[in-house]
Amino acid sequence: MAGQSSSHAAAPVQWWKPALFFLVVIVGLWYVKWQPYYGKAFTAAETHSIGKSILAQANDNPLQAALDYALVYFLAVWKAAVLGVLLGSLVQVLIPRNWLLRTLGQKRLSGTLFGTLFSLPGMMCSCCAAPVAAGMRRQQISMGGALAFWMGNPLLNPATLVFMGFVLGWQFAAVRLVAGLVMVVGVASLVQYLVKDDAQQTAPLDMPVAEPQGHFLARWGRALWTLFWSTIPVYILAVLILGAARVWLFPHADGSIDNSLLWIIAMAIAGCLFVIPTAAEIPIAQAMMLAGMGAAPAMALLMTLPAVSLPSLMMLRKAFPAKALWLTAALVAAGGAMTGMVVFYTGAV
């Protein structure tokens, strides 16, 4: 009996593994996100701007527009994209699965809340957070926890909220914070409730989960290779396609985008399709408002543009059921439209 019980005992935690993971997280985020954003906050406070709209000067030729946008976009995100793939692979081999299942793995609201909390330091765009969410899902993390982490990164980004306050006004930042919290927790919880998760095997919390066997470097190499090929090629292709389509998704005719319900819905849907770097929604909305766009459609765009995108949804196609991803996109579009309508009827911004 003693031998049988010992065979089910959890293997002792090799503490150098989680220590290495958190070291990579801290160093990587400091270099890619925290240190650059610290300086950018002072720029936003002094100039009330964080740069030009990434949609400016769109070429009429679709092929040239695709290449131009892809170049600007990837120059802005490549460091964060590399970090996202790195962390998405390392989370599969350095963090004990029991730790993940006790926090993000729960199908109750607690799993979604942990996912929301863990997203705050990341500050990544939806595409750079997608590989990390995919890596979590390979560790049998619940849909609610993984979706909250994925959407919370761009929507609840503390740096973006600071930039938004200095550039667009603190009322925009306040609405984004409140609506973002509701959207992240609400959408993740609804998808968790409505979509059956066949990929997750639920085990009692007091039952130890066997860790995969094999040398660390070999396991990490396999995880990195699999994650890279399941996310990056389709990511690049989708960015090129959207770069060609940006002229039709975001018209720039002066005064054409007014405070009508039609434009609120249109901007909410367009925001769910297009892909941008972190915080790029701020100069986009600023430029379009200067060209005559109303505050309500601008708020709808500020909610959906960072939250999800067609490339990030495609990157997660193997990590979530298709129904979960389509439902997430639909709920985000609805949430963005509802936020815009609240602004429309109340004049909150």
- Residues 221-230 have pLDDT tens digits of 999 999 999 8
Distance (Å, rounded) from C-alpha 233 to C-alpha 87?
18
Tens-place pLDDT, residues 144-190? 999 999 999 999 999 999 999 999 999 999 999 999 999 999 999 99
Structural domain count, the chain = 1
27 falls within a domain: yes
Asked whether 73 and 275 are in contact (CB, 8 A), the reply is yes
Which range (191-200, 275-284, 289-298, 324-333) has the least confidence? 191-200
Q: Is residue 71 part of a domain?
A: yes
Give the side-chain half-sphere CA count within 13 A for 304: 31
* Six token digits for residue 326: 């389509």
Domain residues for 127?
Answer: 15-195+233-346
- Give the model's confidence band at 7: pLDDT under 50 very low, under 70 low, under 90 confident, else very high: very low
pLDDT at 254: 47
Q: Which of 36, 38, 135, 40 lies closest to 84 in space, CA to CA?
A: 135
Q: Is residue 207 situated within a structural domain?
A: no
Residue 29 lies in a domain: yes
Residue 201 lies in a domain: no
In a domain, 218, yes or no: no
Report yes or no on 102 lying in a domain: yes
Please say if the pLDDT value at position 248 is more than 80.
no
> What's the whole-number mean pLDDT along residues 297-311?
95
Q: Is residue 86 part of a domain?
A: yes
